């Protein structure tokens, strides 16, 4: 499969591997699917599929994506807003058609998303 690798900064052919290759000590991930670039970076797949969760991130991008999720997920998990509405609001703030954290391709994009999500959250806080 061809995916965008954030480390290589291009579309790459990547291998579909099992979790025991990526995380040999994590028995709970042994049968999960991952796509791995020849540079060593990898991305997981949606549960029980070979559909990638997004672009292949660097370690720095994984951390940035986790920060974004940590910021926006509690809002839809608590029922203040639906997940879809949160993602649509972020997309609108970014002036793009559709948004998903997994498809961010650079730290700068993650920063833009962080600012957009902050603006959405500020509006939500003003409604409460």
Q: At what angle do helices 59-77 and 83-94 cross, to 10 degrees?
A: 120
Average pLDDT, the chain: 96
Rounded to an integer, the average pLDDT of 91-116 is 96
Rounded to an integer, the average pLDDT of 93-112 is 96
pLDDT in tens, 39-77: 999 999 999 999 999 999 999 999 999 999 999 999 999
Query: What confidence score (pLDDT) does residue 13 get?
Result: 97
Rounded to whole angstroms, the Cα distance separating 119 from 97 reads 18
Residue 37 confidence (pLDDT) above 80: yes
Residue 127 confidence (pLDDT) above 90: no
Rounded to whole angstroms, the Cα distance separating 5 from 36 reads 9
pLDDT in tens, 6-29: 999 999 999 999 999 999 999 999
Query: What confidence score (pLDDT) does residue 81 get?
Result: 96
Residue 97 confidence (pLDDT) above 80: yes
Q: What are the residue boundaries of the structural domains of the chain, listed by start? A: 2-44, 59-127
Rounded to whole angstroms, the Cα distance separating 105 from 54 reads 9
pLDDT tier at 108 (50, 70, 90 boundaries)? very high
């Amino acid at each position: 499969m061809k995916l965008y690798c954030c480390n290589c900064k291009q579309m790459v052919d990547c291998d579909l591997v099992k979790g025991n290759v990526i995380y040999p000590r994590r028995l709970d991930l042994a049968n999960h699917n991952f796509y791995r670039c020849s540079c060593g970076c990898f991305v997981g797949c949606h549960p029980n599929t070979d559909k990638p969760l997004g672009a292949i991130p660097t370690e720095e991008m994984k951390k940035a994506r986790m920060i974004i999720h940590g910021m926006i997920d509690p809002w839809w998990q608590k029922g203040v807003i639906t997940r879809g509405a949160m993602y649509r609001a972020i997309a609108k703030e970014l002036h793009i058609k559709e948004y998903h954290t997994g498809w961010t391709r650079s730290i700068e994009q993650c920063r833009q998303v962080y600012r957009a999500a902050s603006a959405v959250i500020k509006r939500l806080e003003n409604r409460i």
